[in-house]
Amino acid sequence: MTTILTAGDHFVLNSLLVDRLRTAAPTATYRELTLPWPVEPFGDVAEVREASGTEEQLITALRGVDICVTQMAPLTERVLEASPDLRLFCVSRGGPVNANIEAATRHGVAVCFAPGRNATATAEHTVALMTAAARRVPATHADLAAGTWRGDYYMFEKVGPELEGSTVGIVGYGAIGSRVARILRGFGAHVLVADPYARARDVAPDELTDLADLMRRSTFVTVHARATPATEGLISRELVDLMPTGGVLVNCARGSLVDYDAVCDALDAGKLFGAAFDVFPREPVPADSRLLTTPNIVMTPHLAGASKQTALNAASIVASEVAGFLAGEPLAHCANPEVLARLQ
C-alpha cells in the first residue's frame, strides 16, 4: 500500500491535489499537511529557498510516507535523513528550488516538478503590467479614487508609448516568454528575442538577436530568464542605459535578474518612461526601498502566476507524475532521473 502526503497550501489546495491524485493512485492512503503560504511569505528553510513551513512539521508528517506532493514544503538534508520511506517528492511549481536535489539523490529520492504550470497566467500578467505602466493606470486610478481629475496626464510629455508598432524585447523565450511573444504579435508589436537556447524554437530569423542589441532597439523590454548564478544581474546598469529614452522595463521572472537601482536612476533622470515589477530583490519589499518612491513604477506582490488555472495545472501535472512513477514509467519532469533506475 502506497502512502501519499499532500502538503498543500492556500493556493495549491490539498483538496485539488487529492482530487487529481485519487485518479492517479486510487488505492493509496492519503495524509494532509497545510502549509501557511501565501498567508505567510515563503523564505529560506535550512539550505533550501522559497519554502513554507518547518523541517519539524514535514518530518512529522512524512513518517511512513512513500510519496510527497507539495508546492512549498522544504526537502532538506535533515528532512531526508528523518524520512527513510520517502521515494518520490513532487514539487508542483516551475522549478524545485525548495528541494535539496543533491541530498535527495544521495538518499534515493526522485524529485519532479511542474514546468509551465503558470506560463499563461504569467504571460497575461506581463502584458497587463506593460500596458499599466505605459498608460499610468495605477497612478491615474489613485488620483481619481482620491477625488482628483488629472487632465494634465494628457499632455504630450506625460503620455507613454503604444504596444502596436513598438519593438518589444523578450529576454528568455521559454514557456512564458514565447507566450508573451504570441500575445504581443497580436497587438501588432514587433518582437525581438534574446535567448541562447531559442534557435531550436519557433523564432523568426529577424526576431532573434543578442541582449545588447535587444536593449538598444526595444521600447519595451520584458524579462523571462530563469534565475541562476550565471543570470544574476543579467539586466545590468550598462544594459538599462542602452534602452531608448521613454522605454518601459518589465520583470515578472526573479528579482535577482535586474539592477533595480539602475532602473530607479533611469526613471528619476527621465531616461525611462516607466517600469513594472512583480518580483523584487527582497520580498516583501522593505519600507525604505527606492521602488516605493520612484515615479511611474507599477508593482504587484509576486503574483503573476496567481490564477485558478495555475493551481489546477499544478495539481494535474504532479498527479500525472505520480501515476507514471507508480506504473514504473519515466517521469516527464524529473530533476534527478538517475535515482529512478535505482527505485524501479
How far CA 76 is from CA of 49, 82, 84, 127, 279, in Å, comes to 10, 10, 13, 36, 25
Choice among 283, 321, 329, 342 that is catalytic? 283
Instruction: Reply yes or no on whether 190 is catalytic.
Output: no
The answer to whether the CB of 5 falls within 8 A of the CB of 31 is: yes
Cell of 270: 527621465
Rounded CA separation 10/188 (Å): 38
Which DSSP string do the residues of 219-248 spell out, in sequence order?
SEEEE-PPP-GGGTT-B-HHHHHHSPTTEE
Choice among 55, 254, 321, 333 that is catalytic? 254
Sign of the torsion angle spanned by Cα atoms 125, 128, 130, 136: negative
Choice among 93, 125, 302, 333 that is catalytic? 302
**Residue 184 is inside which H or E element, if any?**
helix 175-187
Instruction: Reply yes or no on whether 20 is catalytic.
Output: no
Instruction: Reply yes or no on whether 283 is catalytic.
Output: yes
Residue whose C-alpha is closest to residue 7's, from 35, 44, 47, 42? 35
Residues with active-site annotation: 254, 283, 302
